Chain A
């Protein structure tokens, strides 16, 4: 054989031996849970999300299927720069394949950009801003659990229909608060109501007395709380002190979690109307999950953020199994192809803009006399079917949606 032919044959052999199909990178699916573990959002996500992610991997049967799953977690402290730095390090050096949870819309938007740059996957359960499936939508991100549009549509509409037609907004001064205020204002105006005033407060404010005074002076029937976690509970607690409800005004908790109600106590929280996509006491499978979860997380019952982390990780692993690989962009595409089915949200699907679709529920917080024990806090007022619960696909300005 001549040298040239040998060379060509060797070259062909080498090229033929190149990677045939996608493999799970490094043989391990590494899942990073990035959330607030020490500040005002720590109870609704925090360590509980890590527990939920682990439960999802166990229920998926990762060991039996021969897929190795590893977990890392970190605290982003509600700072976009800290969150970005952790995300970069995880994606670049620590071989993390997917980041999960990320409450705090400011951090989520930053990590959304990074995941897109690096072609990795991002499954958001904690953050709220509907821009994640709108202007900022990305082929690498799926938005689980809920968003500001769903909250506005559920709670906003319900309250205007019961006569709350003048609103004053108390808004958390960052991406999430602005998004929630914008979406709720649109719903209120569309339903024939009026917004008579707004005030923005810094994230993690301790004292709302000055803002509540302004809300009282505005004489609006409804004080819309476009904030979450500790901010919401502080505002409601201090509102009781200032006689807001006695004076004839009502609070609209636009984003309330079951952990917030637990912190407030039913005496303070009774009568609050809120929208969530998951409640631990809805049916037998959610109750079973809650029991296992509570055992592993100091008795805390799962919030919809925890449930979202569980559902997202479960579906992600199913997609990895079907794809036999964990390349970020490809797995996200596969997740959108496969219909979803988990014990917490039931059957659902993921749209092309990355929005996970499932029904939303309008709940009312029980009176103390109606509750049978701790964590028994909600009664169901209405179910919003999946097709109506989230913003219509065309209305989002998402570049991935072909007009």
Chain B
């Protein structure tokens, strides 16, 4: 394996890591601020990709519109779910939230699969992003470069809003002590609803990014969600920077495994998760509760 080829694989790993980071960011935000283990995340990611597909098929609106519209649409759906079902569970054990969202995921995926089959639907790369860059050691598709850059920007922007702005400070305070924050006149339930909507919108955004590369497929969420959960657990549930860094890092680790022992590429992330949990149960960046 030449160093050139290795660089190529590292870059690929980084690109996959971008998806993991974006998805685990949404999960982390929802868990860190709402204490809900959102198993429906994969299904909502899939819905984002489908909304992009529908926009193209029925309204002729292309990729750039979908980047804006899909997170909004799915975010609204998420808000609807939160208002109708999730908010009754905040006082209860985490397990109930997990069960509810898991059930939701099964229902949503089942409905889509029943309607659209499991082979997937085609969605083309937007014309502005077609082509490859010749980097010397590999040909990098323009679209994949765009995915890394865009994900990085979104992840850092989210981190900045939550950790460095006043709005973020309110959110973090509301998680720690909702009654006190409410006493200060801040509408905590509405903030929580909007946060869930935002986390869901992040998932849908990842779905739109994924649509031109992977098939728009009712199974795409199920395939991703388990890995994303492992990423969040390794990074530390609730740590925003943790999930971003871990997402990218694990993408690279997976890339390495695909080079040296591809048969294990499915399982290496879980092996790492097991090891991390043995040594640091709260995750690499997590705070012990």
Contact = CB atoms under 8 A, between A and B. Distances in A.
Interface stretch (B32-40, B96-104, B219-227): B219-227
B210 to A, nearest CB: 9
Contact of A40 (B8, B219, B224, B263): B219
Interface string A4-47: 00000000000000000000000000000000001110111010
A213 interface: yes
A213 B132 contact: no
Contacts of B283: none
8 contacts: A43-B117, A43-B118, A210-B12, A210-B255, A213-B138, A241-B144, A259-B117, A263-B215
B141 interface: yes
Given A173-B262, A230-B217, A237-B215, 11 more contacts: A202-B265, A206-B220, A207-B16, A207-B213, A209-B16, A213-B9, A214-B259, A241-B141, A242-B141, A259-B117, A267-B124
A39 B214 contact: no
Interface string A200-237: 11101111011101101100000000000110011001
A200 B223 contact: no
Contacts of B132: 241-243
Nearest to B131: A243
B83 interface: no
B215 A216 contact: no
A210 B265 CA distance: 11
Contact of B262 (A39, A46, A211): A211
B179 interface: no
Contacts of B5: 213-214, 217
B139 A206 contact: no
Nearest to B8: A213
B15 A209 contact: yes
Interface of A: 38-40, 42-44, 46, 173, 199-202, 204-207, 209-211, 213-214, 216-217, 229-230, 233-234, 237-238, 241-243, 247, 259-260, 262-265, 267-268, 298, 300
A210 B122 contact: no
Nearest to B138: A213
A38 B222 CA distance: 11
A66 B114 CA distance: 35
B13 A210 contact: yes
Contact of B120 (A216, A217, A243, A263): A263
Interface in B113-131: 113, 117-122, 124-125
Interface of B: 5, 8-9, 12-13, 15-16, 113, 117-122, 124-125, 132, 138-139, 141, 143-144, 213-215, 217, 219-220, 223-224, 255, 258-259, 262-263, 265-266
A202 B266 contact: yes
B264 to A, nearest CB: 8
Contacts of B9: 210, 213
Contacts of A46: 118
Contacts of B120: 230, 233, 263
Contacts of B255: 210
A230 B219 contact: yes
Contacts of A264: 122
Nearest to A269: B122
B139 A216 contact: yes
B213 A241 contact: yes
B213 A233 contact: no
A38 B144 contact: no
A265 B122 contact: yes
B262 A263 contact: no
Contacts of B8: 213, 217
A229 B119 CA distance: 7
A259 B214 contact: no
Nearest to A170: B262
A253 to B, nearest CB: 14
A207 B120 CA distance: 14
Of B117, B119, B120, B265, the most chain A CB neighbours within 10 A belong to B119
B255 to A, nearest CB: 6
Nearest to B259: A210
A173 B267 CA distance: 13
Contacts of B262: 173, 199-202, 210-211
A230 B119 contact: yes
Contacts of A229: 119
A42 B13 contact: no
A311 to B, nearest CB: 23
Contacts of B15: 209
B227 to A, nearest CB: 9
A199 B141 CA distance: 22
Nearest to A238: B213
Given A213-B138, A243-B132, A260-B119, A201 B265 contact: yes
Contacts of B138: 213, 216
A217 B138 CA distance: 9
Nearest to A261: B119
For B16, B117, B139, B213, the residue with the greatest tally of chain A CB atoms inside 10 Å of its CB is B117
Contacts of A263: 119-122, 215
Contact of A42 (B118, B143, B220): B118
Nearest to B122: A265
Nearest to B218: A38
A51 to B, nearest CB: 14
Nearest to A262: B119
B141 A38 contact: no
Contacts of A298: 117
Contacts of B113: 38, 42
- Chain B CB within 10 Å, residue with most, of A44, A242, A298: A242
A211 B261 CA distance: 11
